[in-house]
Structure 1
Amino acid sequence: MVDAFHSESGLVSTATRPVRKKFAKPPVKVACLPCRASRTRCGGQEPCSNCVAKDRKCSYLPSKRGGPRKKKQRPSQSPEEELQQDDAQYLAVPGDFEESPDMFTQIDVLSLPGAGLRHLDFPQVTSMFQSYYSGDTGASHVPLELMPSPLSDTQCFVRLYGSEPEILNAYYDFIHTYFPILPPRVSPPCQDRPLQCPIPCSNPPDEPIIMYRPRSPLSLAISAVLALIPHPEDPDSSSPASILQRRMYAHKFAQLASSVIDAECDLDLSSTDPGQALSSERPAVNREKLHPRTPEDLDTLLSLLILSVYEYTQRGNLLKMRYRAGQALALALDKSLHDHHTEDVFTEARRRAWWMTYYCVIQGSIVSTTPPTIVINDPQFTTPYPRFSSDAEGWSILIQAQQVLVSATQFIADLNKCLSTQQGLNFLFDRMQSLDSWTNSVLVQAEMVPTTSHEPVFGYQEIITAQSIRTISKIKLSSAQIKTHRFRAFSDIPIFIKRHCDLTTANQTTSNTELTTKQPVAAVPGPGMNSISCSCSNLDQFQRASSAEYLTPSDSSTSSDIHPCIPQYPHYPFVPGFPYSPHHSAKICFRAAMVISRMFESLPYPQPIYEGQGRPLPRTMPSFACCLMQSSYAMFMLFYKARVVKQMSPEGDCDISRDSNDRVLEELQQGLERILGAVSNYSMAFEALDGMRDEIQGAYQTAFPRTPI
């Protein structure tokens, strides 16, 4: 990609406005009704290519548009006012770009907090971001009462188990690889044996019948996740009836787990003598251990960790996700798990309980873009990391990756504040460099060959789990790179400036001082904005440093030697101080997005032991699904940049440059297809991720309308 982006100078190197090319294929006079509704460019055939690709009915109605355009009578304007208005329209979207500006509406939402989540607990909101900030309402999914009514003889299968050992075995088959809250297996894997009991489907659904009620909150929480995974005997696991039954059983198990947690956290004397209740010891838990090397008093804490992920990936409820993780943190601190150094048979279990609690608390802050509720490097957190026998550094890298990602998330929030106030930017630039260096150093560790632990191994080796955890760490680190560089990478795109005006609002006083006789034209301020200017600049001007990697604020180009892509606008005061050029940040985002797509594709699939050949199964516990959205957002924005470069390249440009650009577009398309494959696999089990899949798929079909998915 990297060489291809050098050709971007063709977009921004000229000081005069580039000659706009006509559409490669002129727009049709009449578009079909489905393309009109989706605001997608129609080919004009009957049926059109878009409708053929999406397998939908293509129909036309006569258009009322066409014919000579009548010019509206406008009041007389001065030449300067006319030039300002024309330049403001040009800034909105490049006139030579074929695609509709509406495609960027599809891209923008991919980077928002909780992007794409489908909300089973809040059926009246369209997105989690809107529910937090805008108050807009709408139907996010089909209500239960409107689910298609199945035939009277329809039966479904739900993944239920009949004993604690079978539930524990299924935990290692489906959950442990991605979310190792328990120590390794102590017994060999067994055949996966979900109950073969068909469940009659009804509408509305009946109260789930629990054939075997798990004994502990941990086995109940595990059962909630297992119930979401399609049963091997289900003939049509993707049917609405099957999905609804799995949802009902999973939520029933989650509710039972919550009720047991509440009961075990209650103090016997709290209702009769509250003063004595706080000073008395907690009642002992009297039940058989689910795992022989995990004390039963950790069951409540571990079940909260599973329920935290369940609330995010299945229910789409960020508030409950963070609440469950907060409950687990309170229990962990109460048990002093954060400062545990005792060596006994339960040491590994307690270490994993603490650091997975830490992981989930931080994850709640990442997905909701809120400040962490704990100090991420608190010196009181002294419990040693757990160990994989096949990867001594695996846990350390995972926790460091989590710390880097939450720091990058907080960097975005602070960047927004600094850009709106135009204060503290120099400190933020230093922080950006430090964050980038920190990310790279942990990435180097993640890329190194794992070393074997010399500690004694209790139970079976976790080779696949260790590999999976290191893969997840790389995903998180790459996502941190995108968050650190995405504003700088795309701040030279006019459509980005217009749609991210909240990120680029300059102080009116500061903007006025930037105006000189060489910069007589200013963009027309929009509602709620001060002076908005174009930060498009010659990318080569930012690469004069010998290292060509990054520049210090003192070495950055000034307004006198930047050649903007449109008539001179006052440059943002923060542009000269950024330590990286847009070109450099774009390359980082490209590499990071490609790594994320490949790492998701390389994550192992569950491999339970069946009597026959089973169908492909969904991966589970995608608490880091937000990284999918970050990757897709970056790739769509890079796709836009590459398309503009290709369209504006001179016709006599060398074949090597054109081929390089085509390879970039091809790589981006393949990366997006890998991301779609990963999120589609997750959504086989987790309904909240349906929305993520649909958001990415809709943007993909807009970008590649002739490519079947």
Structure 2
Amino acid sequence: MVEAFHDFAPARPIRKKFAKPPVKVACLPCRASRTRCGGQEPCSNCVSKGRKCSYLPSKRGGPRKKRQKASPSPEDSPDDAQYAVLPEFEEPAGMFSQIDVLSGPGAGLRHLDFSMSPMFQAYFPEGNSSSVQLDPMPSPLNTTQCFVRTYGSEPEILNAYYDFIHSYFPILPPRASPPCRDRPLQCPVSCSNSSAEPLMMYRPRSPLSLAIAAILALVPHPDDPEPSSPTSVLQRRTYAHTFAQLANSIIEAECDLELSSTDPGQALSSSRPLISRERLHARVPEDLETLLALLILSVYEYTQRGNLLKMRYRAGQALALALDKSLHADMEENEFSEARRRAWWMTYYCVIQGSIVSTTPPTIVVNDPQFTTPYPRFSSDAEGWYILIQAQQVLVSATQFIHDLNKCLSSQSGMHYMFERMHQLDSWTNSVLAQTDILPIASPDAGFGDQHETITAQSFRSISRIKLSSAQIKIHRFRAFSDIPLFIKRHCDLTAASPSSTIADLSNKSRMPASGINPVSCSCSNLNSFQRASSTEYMTPSDSSTSSDIHPYIPQYPQYPFASGFPYSSQHSTKICLRAALVISRMFENLPFPQPLPGNPQQQNQQRPQLPRTMPSFACCLMQSSYAMFMIFYKARVAKQFSPDSENENASDSTDRLVEELRQGLQRVIRALSNYSVAFEALDGMKDEIQGAFQTAFPASV
């Protein structure tokens, strides 16, 4: 009977869920009454019911990402189920992706050499070519005139070196004569044809004076009414590069052997060609000028051209000349001793710096016992040079530590050795930092150069603190930031396990290993091969660097099975990174500004525009500082959102104080880079990277 009924019953039509797809945005009355909206304005429902129809656009950019939530199983405890539906941290659009690029080698550098070789591209993360490529500035259409800082004699160039370069990069001994007034040539240059070789009223004779002139040409002329205009920037770039190319041509000519093309065998046994020109400095032999020029050009390639490859190449040329002259084992005492010592140790400094900024192994043995040349001396600080070289050695060792840590993580071996090495590096860094805090030992003042030497010695102390603080960030940043959810997802080839695969238990219950990992690549490290165990160690600082209070509660995120092996907790490493980042931002502001004697005595008491500092070969430390501050800012935001006592006024105030301190620190970093980028175009990219991330993190401060 039932079968017969089914045979004669009319077939039911297949009903579609929606004959017409639902609209993307419903009006507020329909959403409140859970009624399907037609999407018109006003919609048919509101018209038929005689009510006001209004829409509220979404405040979030684009469609919301769907979060996969697994329903808790009956075996799960109520606490586990509560954790499984914990709300995800709402990240401001693009914030973490802006932070992520700040820690890589060459981060933010703009590249003025338009053809980038494949070897050079290897130094930069994939997909980040826009941050290192600078389109050529268009040539001015109208014939205008502007001023470029050039000088009319060798003594004037040498005097300008002490005004603008020596305080940050003392390759020469102290002044041999009293300081003179700064008198750049006041001849305007024509800007109608930027492609032609610029007209020079005076052409320097020495490769060293040409290299110095290349740096000086980047500093705006005092009579230039618009130094930041595209026309002025283009002319400064053109003159500087012309000086640099002329210096390179003389260097190549002086390094050539006369018989190399006709009789190579005899050329190798013959003596070097004699240099017949007047010394630029009375206490510097002529044969050192080529080497010193290469050191300046190495910094020029990094800070102006943004070319890490050429930076290391110029430093390598200088090293070859220094070793050929046995400067690394010079124990003689004569009138040129100080010049030879500075030439050697600044060569050593530049070679190591090339390895630091490119994150590559050094080309020399850092503690080679053959390097026996005594350190130079400041009359006001006997230990200044020693401390700087020690800081450089610590920083390059910390850079190598990151490289080796990534290899151990990839191979899942050798972590015990890395833990011991982390502890040793941290102790070494603290030891040298303690030396920078000891008051310098000064000798009685004498001579013309002592005032500038005192300023230079103070700069060396600040630069040493900057480098040591950057080393601290490199040593501790993995431990400090690897517990951030988005760091796990995006920054180290790790993704957080879904709540269903790894359930956190606040009562220290057993936990299941993560599954369903979706690796996301990054240049930082390669950790996707690890299974992560959960941990209750995720702590976040919610106070300023002057306080040791740490917020007591953060949602429990899974961590690594080797996390307990680190000699420092995540909390401790975070506090070290915070303190180091703030120190870097303050030390850059402690560096002096150039203060040349004005050419016109009547202008001596007048307020003059702030001149740019020069020779920022350690600008990468600013990127490390900003990276650490942005990451800690992110942790503070997570802490504030997930804290169970977020209504507590004291906890909120402490987090706000930390965020304010980070904001001020980042503003100091931006000010320092803004000052440098007035002269050095490659660093303008660094400023733009940090400024963009700052505007996302602190939109109210823009």
Q: TM bucket by the smaller chain?
A: 0.7 to 0.9
Q: For CA contacts below 8 A with separation 6 or more, give which structure has more relative contact order.
A: 1
Matched, 1:107 2:99: yes
Shift of 1:249: 0.4
| Range with bigger deviation, 434-443 or 134-143 | 134-143
Aligned equivalents of 2:64, 2:211: Cα separation in 1: 64
Candidates 661, 679, 690, aligned match of 2:673? 679
Partner of 1:11: none
How far, CA to CA, are the matches of 1:588 and 1:368 in structure 2? 24
Where in structure 2 are the equivalents of 1:665-704 lying within 5 Å?
Answer: 665-704=659-698
1:496 deviation in Å? 0.6
Q: Please, which of 433, 437, 441 is the counterpart of residue 451 of structure 1?
A: 441
Q: Residue in 2 aligned with 1:361? A: 351
Partner of 1:36: none
User: Match for residue 468 of structure 1?
Assistant: 459
Deviation at 1:242, TM superposition (A): 0.4
Q: Does 1:663 align with 2:663?
A: no
Q: Is the 8 A contact 1:125 1:139 kept in 2?
A: no
Q: Which of the residues 468, 472, 483 maps onto 1:492?
A: 483
What's the CA shift string for 1:198-249, capped at 9, x where partnerless?
A: 1121255432112111010000000000000000000000000100000000
CA contact 1:182–1:352 (8 Å) conserved in 2 = yes
Offset at residue 478 of structure 1 (A): 0.4
Separation (CA, whole Å) in 2 of partners of 1:411 and 1:142: 32
Partners of 1:477 and 1:326 in 2: CA distance: 24
User: 1:14-45, CA deviations, whole angstroms, 9 ceiling, x for partnerless residues?
Assistant: xxxxxxxxxxxxxxx99xxxxxxxxxxxxxxx
Amino acid aligned to 1:577? G
**1:376-404 alpha-carbon deviations (Å, 9 max, x no partner):** 11000000000000000000000000000
3-state DSSP of counterpart to 2:671:
helix
Give how far 1:679 is off.
Answer: 0.4
After TM superposition, the score normalised by the length of structure 2 is: 0.80
TM superposition shift of 1:583: 0.3
Change (3 A) 1:584 1:65: closer
Partner of 2:31: none
Which of 422, 430, 433 in structure 1 is aligned with 2:412?
422
Q: Distance in 1 between matches of 2:334 and 2:127?
A: 52
- What does 1:153-552 correspond to in 2, within 5 Å? 154-202=144-192, 204-453=194-443, 459-461=449-451, 462-502=453-493, 518-520=510-512, 522-527=514-519, 529-530=528-529, 533=532, 537-538=536-537
Question: Residue 329 of structure 2 contacts residue 372 of structure 2 at CA under 8 Å; is this kept in 1?
Answer: yes
Distance in 2, matches of 1:126 and 1:704, equals 37
> In 2, distance between residues paired with 1:178 and 1:531?
45
Write the distance in 2 (CA, Å) between the matches of 1:313 and 1:197. Answer: 27
In 2, the alpha carbon distance for the partners of 1:372 and 1:312 equals: 17
Deviation (angstroms), 1:137: 5.0
Q: Which amino acid aligns with 1:475?
A: I
* Structure-2 residue corresponding to 1:581: 569
Q: Is the 8 A contact 1:305 1:324 kept in 2?
A: yes
Deviation at 1:566, TM superposition (A): 4.4
Does structure 1 conserve the Cα–Cα contact (< 8 Å) formed by 2:176 and 2:449? yes
Question: Does structure 2 conserve the Cα–Cα contact (< 8 Å) formed by 1:524 and 1:531?
Answer: no
Q: Is the 8 A contact 2:495 2:519 kept in 1?
A: no
Partners of 1:440 and 1:697 in 2: CA distance: 31
User: Do the aligned partners of residues 532 and 632 (structure 1) sit closer, same or farther apart at CA in structure 2, a change above 3 Å counting?
Assistant: farther
Counterpart Cα distance in 2 of 1:121 and 1:201: 21
**How big is the shift at 1:683?**
0.2
TM-score (norm 1): 0.80
Contact 2:539 2:570 (8 Å CA) reproduced: no
Read off the aligned partner of 2:609 and give its amino acid letter.
R
The answer to whether the 8 Å contact 1:124/1:140 transfers is no
> Which amino acid in 1 is paired with 2:377?
R
Deviations 1:63-105 (A, max 9, x none): 9999999999x9x99978xx9xxx9xx99x9955343352111
Residues 473-517 of structure 1 deviation map (CA, whole Å, 9 limit, x = unaligned): 0000000000000000011111111112348999xxxx9xxxx99
Distance in 2, matches of 1:573 and 1:339, equals 48
Could you tell me how far 1:645 is from its partner in structure 2?
1.4
**Residue type matched to 1:243 in 2?**
V
Q: Which structure has the greater CA radius of gyration?
A: 2
Residues 578 and 504 of structure 1: CA distance in aligned 2, closer, same or farther (over 3 Å) = farther
**Structure 2: distance between partners of 1:325 and 1:426:** 35
Count residues with an aligned counterpart.
Answer: 610
Question: In structure 1, how many angstroms separate the alpha carbons of the residues matched to 2:510 and 2:239?
Answer: 69
Query: Taking structure 1 as reference, are residues 408 and 137 closer, same or farther at Cα in structure 2, changes over 3 Å only?
Result: closer
Report what 1:602 is aligned to. Answer: 590
User: Contact (CA 8 Å) 2:540, 2:639: kept in 1 or not?
Assistant: no
Q: In the superposition, relative to structure 1, how do residues 440 and 460 fare at CA in structure 2: closer, same or farther (>3 Å)?
A: same
**1:61-76 matched pairs, under 5 angstroms:** none
Does structure 2 conserve the Cα–Cα contact (< 8 Å) formed by 1:218 and 1:299? yes
Which deviates further from its counterpart, 289-298 or 101-110?
101-110
Distance 2:315 2:223 in 1: 34
Q: Is the aligned partner of 1:647 residue 2:650? A: no
Give yes or no for contact 2:105–2:124 (8 Å, CA) kept in 1.
Answer: no
| Mapped contact 2:153–2:204 kept (Cα < 8 A) | yes
What amino acid is the match of 1:633?
A: Y
- Aligned residue for 1:680, secondary structure, equals helix
Deviation at 1:333, TM superposition (A): 0.3
Any gaps of 5 or more consecutive residues in structure 2? 1-24, 27-56, 503-507, 521-527, 542-547
Distance 1:204 1:438, change over 3 A: same
Instruction: Output the CA distance in 2 between the equivalents of 1:684 and 1:429.
Output: 42
One-letter code aligned to 2:350: C
> Given the alignment, which residue of 583, 591, 595 partners 2:579?
591
Q: Distance in 1 between matches of 2:519 and 2:63?
A: 32
Computed over aligned residues only, the root mean square deviation of the Cα atoms, in angstroms, reads 3.5
Q: Deviations over 1:524-548 (max 9, x none)?
A: 1225844553765335799xxxxxx
The answer as to whether partners of 2:131 and 2:685 remain within 8 angstroms in 1 is no
**Structure 1 residues 272 and 648, CA gap change in structure 2 (3 angstroms):** same
Give the letter for the 2:576 counterpart.
Answer: I
Give, in angstroms, the shift of residue 453 of structure 1: 4.1
Separation in 1, partners of 2:97, 2:289: 44
1:85-138 CA-to-partner distances (Å, cap 9, x unmatched) read xx9xx99x9955343352111101100000000000136799977764537755
Work out the CA distance in 1 between the residues paired with 2:70 and 2:636: 37
Alpha-carbon offset, residue 447 of structure 1: 0.8
Aligned partners of 1:200, 1:68: CA distance in 2, in Å? 54
**Is residue 619 from structure 1 mapped to residue 613 from structure 2 by the alignment?**
yes
1:134 counterpart residue number: 126
- Does the C-alpha gap of structure 1 residues 281 and 539 become closer, same or farther in structure 2, counting only changes over 3 Å? same
Shift of 1:375: 0.5
Question: Do the aligned partners of 2:494 and 2:517 also contact (CA within 8 Å) in 1?
Answer: no
1:336-392 Cα deviation digits (max 9, x unpaired): 000001111000000000000000000000000000000111000000000000000
